[in-house]
Amino acid sequence: MKLQKTNRMTLVEQVAAQIEAIIESGQWPIGTRIPAEPELVRELGVSRNTLREAIRALVHAGLLRTKQGDGTYVCSTSVLGAALQRRIQQSNILETLEVRDGLEQQSARLAALRRTDEDVEKLRACLAACDSAAEANDMDAYVEFDIQLHQAVAEATHNSVLIDLYEYMTEAVKRSIRELVEVACCDSHQKVHHELIEAIIQQDERQAVEAVRTYIEQFKEKLQQHLEDEK
């Protein structure tokens, strides 16, 4: 194999790398509008064209999104995250469920082993919010609180990779939850949620995993029945 001399990073690549590092550090969370062009040009000490090329590269990579006349916003925390989000968006609901099954069973198991008192407090608050939304029959709110509940379970694992993976799947998970509330009432889903959170609080990893398996299987059955009824 013939080796070639390495090339130094171009100025555009250096600027893009600096901005990417700021995003990955969490200084600019998802949804943040990044500083205006004149400020970035001044801070970085580069030309407008160099900055614009770097921004364009990060938009293409999926880290940034430009809104015409409004500014540029952070839309992912990493290049890997952006790539995963694009791939997950192409999946169907059953594929998403199969991935959720594996990811959430592991989340439940680790959460049961590692949860702290602070995690318990957050889990109970999320569960109560889901209960309130279900009782009010506010499905939009229920979907949002349901997502927050599952994110809280992931956070209780204290595994940064697992937490990031679940965050990257948020939109796909939200889509699957919305599909669930359209084909089934929330009461049965909430019953299993209560079983899951109680198992995590009691640090019963076996029961926590079983709760996840139960609600995923229930969802699959209801979804498949719904699809058959529509034929």
- pLDDT band of 143, cuts 50, 70, 90: confident
Fold of 91-230: Four Helix Bundle (Hemerythrin (Met), subunit A) (1.20.120)
Q: Over 70: is that where the pLDDT of 151 sits?
A: yes
The CB density around residue 110, as the number of other CB atoms within 10 Å, is: 20
CATH of domain 11-80: 1.10.10.10
Residues 6 or more apart whose Cβ sits within 8 Å of residue 87: none
Q: Give the per-residue pLDDT at 182.
A: 64
pTM of the model: 0.68
- pLDDT band of 177, cuts 50, 70, 90: confident
Distance (Å) of CA 137 to CA 1, 92, 182: 65, 26, 12
Q: Give the per-residue pLDDT at 154.
A: 95
Q: Could you report the per-residue pLDDT of 6-17, keeping only the tens digit for each?
A: 456 788 999 999
Q: Over 70: is that where the pLDDT of 200 sits?
A: yes
Span(s) in the chain for CATH 1.10.10.10: 11-80
What mean pLDDT is predicted for residues 125-144?
90
CA-based Rg of the chain, rounded to a whole angstrom?
21
Residues 6 or more apart whose Cβ sits within 8 Å of residue 228: none
Q: Give the per-residue pLDDT at 15.
A: 92
More confident residue, 99 or 132: 132
- pLDDT band of 227, cuts 50, 70, 90: low
